[in-house]
Structure 1
Amino acid sequence: MMKITNFKVSKYRSITTSKTLDLQGMSVLVGPNNEGKSNILRALVVGLESIQQAGTQTKAARRAPLGSFMYRSDDFERYRWERDYPLALQDKEPNSSSTFEFEFELNERDKEDLKESTGHSLNETLKIRVLLKRGGAAEIKVVKRGPANAAINANVAKICDLIQRRVRVEYVSGDRTSEETLRLIRREAVGALAEVSASQEYRDLLNRLKGLSEQALAPLQGRLNDEMQDLVPGVQNVEISVSRFTEQVHRRDFDVSIDDGSNTLLSMKGDGIQSLTVIALIRALAKRSEDVTYIMAIEEPEARLHPQAVRRLHLKLQEFAEEDQVIITTHSPVLVNREDISANILVSRNTAGPARSLESIRTSLGVELPDNLLSSDLVVLTEGSFDSEVLSTVLSRASQSIGRALSAGRLSFADSGGCSNIHYQARLQRDALCRIHVVLDSDKAGRQAAEKLRREPWFLDRDLTFLVRPDADGTELEDLFSEDDLAGMIADEFGVDIDLYDANPRHDFSTRMGNRFRAAGKVWDSSMENNLKCRVRDLACARDRIQPVEEVRPLISNLVSDIERKLALRVER
């Protein structure tokens, strides 16, 4: 499908100029208030609407030079020079225009249709420049070097027509109300009911109007119902009904009611449900149009939503972006693209450019972190401080890149303070724009903590590693090391010769040591257990170190690969 690969705007509202902005499946505009995020989003919508409007005008109707047309200015998305050209420049440049540039990626079908309608061939991309001028005039050009420039621009109206058939933009303002949702539903429902209103059966049997209308609306209602239940699991049913009947279906008003335990008109629902409904509707419309790319342009989608709903919405927007495109403005770290840093666009002082690091995004959003995490791209979460110290030492010895990342501060090992805090710490680090990897003991407490994490839609199984020793029922960090390497220290410092006492090798370290200490007549309690683990940590981190046992080295190697892979995802330009 046709998609926008990059966009540039100059002299539109507060935006004097922007760098060429590469657009991904999901692109995120971040920055402080009043810096120009919304204006960049609106500029993209205005430019696309202008191209689509030009595509619907025939040459005879335009009566203007090729590539020129008169744009309408009655809607919010339409351009008005007196409002939208930078006020500070209007007296100096009364004849200048706002400029919008788009580069579209074409698939094979797009290229075939373009050649059929214009006689010209393009490679992979199509670049369009839009100039919106004073007095309602507009000029659209295909940007192409060489002798073919004039010939291809002679067909610019046909090219705009192709774009308007293949790309559809839906702008969702920050003030999402039930009326905005109903406007979209009316537009789609009128099209769905046009055939019904023209039928002789409808004219002759007006008393069947309600049944026919409900039948025609059923697919739209079904798709909207599915999307709302996907976004808001508590919703039981969504109903679209005709509120009054006349002889012309296309003049009717439509109502939407949502049953989330209480069947209520959308206009009477809370702001959060109203906000999610318009997004659900756009998702529903996109699913029925295989040949059309939907571009969802949303201002602050997190507004009026509970944090848990924001996280769920983020996942659903990412799903939408796999086939279509999403461009949002946000103040929420939850909605930032962590996998591709350059997909986040920093807007500051009315200019814009791709983010170069997570730290720059945090600064733009005002996210504050402890000093040791300020530049971390990846945080490895462990159950306790011993685990963090030992793992950081073992893994940095096993991998030079991990050692360098630790030294540079790009990688941190964080103590969660116990299994019960793993879930909280994972969410905290995620909201602070850190990638995470969780390492847990494979005992009962560790597996319970993992199950709680895995119930979260934002947590992926690839971000979890259990410390496992083959043929053991449970494994702790200390089980990674050989008892033979620990025996001398335990005898010297704790007075227990562990070689004299048999222990079940399937038991974890704490259980085995507890049985031996008690058999030797020694104290074994939580304090003694803690002291022993401290000494194991000291040995593991010492210069004349002890090494992990042979049977767990594949586990260590796999964990090294996991961390190296995540560190490599960082994008620096």
Structure 2
Amino acid sequence: MKLNKFSVRNYRSIASQSDINLQSFNVLLGKNNEGKSNLLKALNIAMETLLKHGHRHNTILSRANSRRDLNYDWARDFPFQYRDRKLGRESIFTLEFGLNNEEIMEFRDELGLQVNGIIRIRITYDENNKANIEVKKQHGTQYKKKSSEIARFISSKIKFNYISAIRTENMAINVLRNIVIQRLTQSPYNEEYEDAVKKIEEIQEKVLNDIASQLKPSLLKFLPKLNSVNIKSEVDRYNPYYWSPDIQLMLDDGVETNIIHKGEGIKSLVTLAILKDLQIFNGVSIVAIEEPESHLHSEAIHELVEVIHEISNSSQVIITTHNPLFVQRNNIKGNIIVDSGKARIAHSIEEIRSILGVMPEDNLQNTSNVLLVEGKTDQIVLSKLLSTLSLKIKNSLNNNHFVIKYMGSASNLCHTIGELNQSMCKVLVVLDNDSAGHSEGRKAIERRLIKEQFIKYIGGPGSREAELEDIIRPDFYKDLLLSKFYLNIESSAFRGNKKWSEKLKSLAISAGTDLTDSLKNEIKVAIAESIPSNINSIDDIFIKERLHVVESIVTAVEQMLE
């Protein structure tokens, strides 16, 4: 089962009806005070109302739900401009669920009702804060009579977690408490409790230790010095389904400390880590998160992007954000723009950039695809070479759909990728196949700025160090170096297995030339610019045996442009 669509009307800033078609990962984008948070709060009210309605005959879960405050208040939440009218004085929430074939059969067997795979629930709150729940179907009155049973069926298949923008330690504890209650009420624990009260403490300890052990691997990412995770609580031996609110989450990263004494960023990360690692519900989970980037520094946000994507593999995720890193660049329809209290599906990256106020520099403004290289000569050479090898790349370069950007030095890699990620660009990196290139590449990967498959190392095969100039035939630039720089590459000083820059340095020393960085760059640029824009014969300019990486780059760029 999944939530296909959510609609809301007459709730806070959302006066006219807004419909949201939901996918696995949904990103609500918009400026401040346009209704993003209100949409998520409305979804929270609707889901919690439905789940409470479905659980009202379940003593255990009713107790858990009784502690939840649904926070609907007509005097505060109904749009102010409509309060004087006689009709339409209700806040309306609509949930549309999709059932798979197995669930359709279960629905028929349990409730004796036929269903086409779609169930719509309409929830209204009136001025007395009273909720009315109605199943919207065209199959007579039986659906209305069995609204509670239908809600209970849905609630057995759906788990909902809402994480507000203000995340305290209570947020993590509430999520953890709900998971503990669910685990304890599932077989075999439920039967064991009924049959043998004496096993309560033993089972409780087993559950808490199990949850704690599941949490530790994820928390280690944020707390590298973490030694242990321990969960403590008090349970009434003669009322095993009543859980004390005084549940504690203890984290040992040198000293065992209650989470209430940790920083806001850690509290936020712990809450989301719990959701990622404890997907134990037998059904579909829906996770709604307001501004997941709150209280986090940039490196933690990159880590969090991956965590939320992992959650979306097993749950439907809906977030609000101002951070471009969460934008679904490969699935534009997963981005929902909220403007003036209305929600609509985004149609392009440019539209998303506009609503977020992202203004990429120079020629990046119209592109979503960037090949990031070390120096200006890499940019010049690869622009000519890739255009020759691929018409698609050539056309994309011409219309700025694809840009080759140089960063000046491999040491600028992390900073530059961070900026490009903020500009919502897809990035492929080409570095020299030397110690500096590999060192900076590993650093970017470790900081989760980019994945391994998006970095290519160029220069030639084998274990020796190499750089882009090593793929160019020396005969091609022999006359240029001799006539303009008085360097004869036929000298023995230019031979050997060192990378091109090292050989050039040896040649310059033997010729009595001071090879400054400025002169070396001038030589590199001269060679790059001597390559014609329209290459007739690649073999006359480049060493064929060293073009395998270039061919791999062509494939990767063409895939990026799809």
Contact 2:216–2:229 (8 Å) recurs in 1: yes
Quickly say closer, same or farther: Cα 1:433–1:234, change in 2 above 3 A.
Answer: farther
Matched to 1:259, the amino acid is D
Decide which of 528, 531, 553 is 1:559's aligned counterpart. Answer: 553
SS in 1 for 2:10: strand
SS in 2 for 1:115: helix
What are the equivalent positions in structure 2 for 1:248-397 lying under 5 Å apart? 248-249=239-240, 250=242, 252=244, 253-286=246-279, 288-289=280-281, 291-397=282-388
- Which runs of no fewer than 5 residues in structure 1 stay unpaired? 59-71, 203-207, 569-573
Which residue does the alignment assign to 2:34? 35
Which residue does the alignment assign to 1:84? 77
Q: Is 1:493 paired with 2:487?
A: no
Q: Deviation string for 1:381-427 (max 9, x for gaps)?
A: 11111111222232233333323333333322222111111122122
Q: Measure how far apart 1:226 and its partner are.
A: 4.5
Which residue does the alignment assign to 1:411? 402
What are the equivalent positions in structure 2 for 1:159-308 lying under 5 Å apart? 159-189=150-180, 201-202=197-198, 213-242=204-233, 247-249=238-240, 250=242, 252=244, 253-286=246-279, 288-289=280-281, 291-308=282-299
Quickly say closer, same or farther: Cα 1:552–1:127, change in 2 above 3 A.
Answer: farther
Q: Deviation string for 1:434-483 (max 9, x for gaps)?
A: 22111011122222222222323342112111113245823322223222
Q: Measure how far apart 1:516 and its partner are.
A: 4.6
Quickly say closer, same or farther: Cα 1:242–1:474, change in 2 above 3 A.
Answer: closer
SS in 2 for 1:440: strand
Q: Measure how far apart 1:43 and its partner are.
A: 1.8
Q: Deviation string for 1:57-76 (max 9, x for gaps)?
A: 68xxxxxxxxxxxxx99954
SS in 2 for 1:233: coil
Q: Give the TM-score of the pair, scaled to structure 1.
A: 0.84
Contact 1:126–1:142 (8 Å) recurs in 2: no
Matched to 2:283, the amino acid is V
Contact 2:92–2:125 (8 Å) recurs in 1: no
Contact 2:371–2:429 (8 Å) recurs in 1: yes
Quickly say closer, same or farther: Cα 1:260–1:557, change in 2 above 3 A.
Answer: same
Contact 1:238–1:258 (8 Å) recurs in 2: yes
Decide which of 96, 115, 130 is 2:122's aligned counterpart. Answer: 130
SS in 2 for 1:256: strand
Q: Deviation string for 1:232-261 (max 9, x for gaps)?
A: 434322222235867544253323322222
SS in 2 for 1:140: strand
Q: Determine the C-alpha separation between the residues in 1 that align with 2:381 and 2:322.
A: 37
What are the equivalent positions in structure 2 for 1:467-506 lying under 5 Å apart? 467-470=458-461, 473-499=464-490, 503-504=494-495, 506=497
RMSD over aligned Cα atoms: 3.3
Contact 2:459–2:469 (8 Å) recurs in 1: no
Matched to 1:51, the amino acid is L
Q: Is 1:141 paired with 2:140?
A: no
Matched to 2:551, the amino acid is S
Deviation larger for 128-137 or 541-550: 541-550
Matched to 1:562, the amino acid is A
Quickly say closer, same or farther: Cα 1:381–1:221, change in 2 above 3 A.
Answer: same
SS in 1 for 2:15: strand
Q: Measure how far apart 1:32 and its partner are.
A: 1.7
Q: Is 1:116 paired with 2:115?
A: no
Contact 1:117–1:158 (8 Å) recurs in 2: no
Which residue does the alignment assign to 2:14? 15
Deviation larger for 354-363 or 91-100: 91-100
Identity of aligned residues (%): 27
Q: Determine the C-alpha separation between the residues in 1 that align with 2:331 and 2:397.
A: 21
Q: Measure how far apart 1:485 and its partner are.
A: 2.3
Q: Determine the C-alpha separation between the residues in 2 that align with 1:468 and 1:251.
A: 63
Contact 1:469–1:552 (8 Å) recurs in 2: yes
Q: Deviation string for 1:332-388 (max 9, x for gaps)?
A: 223333332321222121111222223332332333432322222122111111111
Q: Give the TM-score of the pair, scaled to structure 2.
A: 0.85
Quickly say closer, same or farther: Cα 1:117–1:280, change in 2 above 3 A.
Answer: same
- Which runs of no fewer than 5 residues in structure 2 stay unpaired? 58-64
Deviation larger for 495-504 or 389-398: 495-504
Quickly say closer, same or farther: Cα 1:481–1:9, change in 2 above 3 A.
Answer: same
Contact 2:50–2:133 (8 Å) recurs in 1: no
Which residue does the alignment assign to 1:4? 3
Which residue does the alignment assign to 1:50? 49
Matched to 1:555, the amino acid is V
Deviation larger for 430-439 or 405-414: 405-414
Contact 1:25–1:321 (8 Å) recurs in 2: yes
Q: Deviation string for 1:119-159 (max 9, x for gaps)?
A: 56656x52414141414242433456xxx577766655443
Contact 1:442–1:467 (8 Å) recurs in 2: yes
Matched to 2:292, the amino acid is P
SS in 2 for 1:8: strand
Which residue does the alignment assign to 1:69? none
Contact 1:231–1:280 (8 Å) recurs in 2: no
Q: Determine the C-alpha separation between the residues in 2 that align with 1:339 and 1:117.
A: 40
Q: Is 1:510 paired with 2:501?
A: yes
